[in-house]
Amino acid sequence: MIFKEKANDIISKLKVSSKKNHVMLLNLVVSEVSLLVKSLETKEEISPSFPKVIVDSWDFDDDLGSELLELYQLYKRIISK
């Protein structure tokens, strides 16, 4: 499943990034991305807070933030089918 692979890749990047950024915020994002993966298995849509946090507080040119927002868009397309 492409979504799960992308999500796991991003989670790995977040864990490495936790050395540079606020650990609690990154733990929240890791937790919510994991919940997105699980919700695809149960078909129950969730509304994570990380997209708003990224838009409001991360640097505009942060590659990991962009990947997370793209992952969330992919999630919304998949879950709405």
State the Cα–Cα distance between residues 20 and 57, nearest whole angstrom: 15
State the Cα–Cα distance between residues 7 and 11, nearest whole angstrom: 6
Count other Cβ atoms within 10 Å, centred on residue 58: 18
Q: Locate the domains of the chain by residue range.
A: 2-79
Check residue 21 and give its pLDDT: 57
Render each residue's pLDDT in the chain as its tens digit; 81 residues.
799 999 999 888 887 775 555 777 888 899 999 999 999 999 999 999 999 998 998 888 889 899 999 999 999 999 998
The residue to which tokens 């990047």 are assigned: 13
The model's pTM: 0.78
Check residue 19 and give its pLDDT: 55
